[in-house]
Amino acid sequence: MAAFNELQHKIGGPASALDKDALIAAAEEEREALIPELEHALADARRRLVSASGDETRGDELFIAANEIRQLAACANRPSAGRLAHFLASYLTHCADKGEAAGAHVTAPLVGAVDQSFIVKEHDPILKAIVDESARLIQHLSAAGD
């Protein structure tokens, strides 16, 4: 038999010999243990997002908070919050790339949608409608070049 490669040496043998179901279950347990910490970080980012909303001088803070929510939401079982924050961060990036100020007519409803995503249960049809309407708004803006 050929000598173990470096990875096989670290894991104690070939990957095919590992109990993949046990590894997945252990990873899920670890993720579940982190959810309270993730929820705390999301609540902080949500507060900063809402606080920066409507203040044109705090666009960077709005982007940072939206981006943090986008990155953390999926791990905390909040995919809708992540998707909505993605729409907001993408819009802010688009505006910055064009050298234009982000319009409150777009940021305010998107911030409101992100905020509501923390109140409404993940599988609620209302939240799905909020995500779908936000997606249409972003698609419309992309098509219009706004």
Residue pLDDT tens, the chain, 146 long? 455 677 777 777 777 677 788 888 988 898 888 889 999 999 999 999 999 998 888 989 999 999 999 999 988 999 999 999 999 999 999 999 999 889 999 999 999 999 999 999 999 999 999 999 999 999 988 887 64
Q: Whole-prediction pTM value?
A: 0.80
Q: Is 1.20.120 the CATH number for 19-144?
A: yes
Distance of CA 75 to the CA centre of its chain: 9
| Domain boundary assignment for the chain | 19-144
Burial 96-115 (b: 16+ CB within 10 A, else e): eeeeeebeeebbeebbebbb
Q: By 3-state DSSP, what share of the chain in percent is helix, strand and coil, each rounded to 5?
A: 80, 0, 20
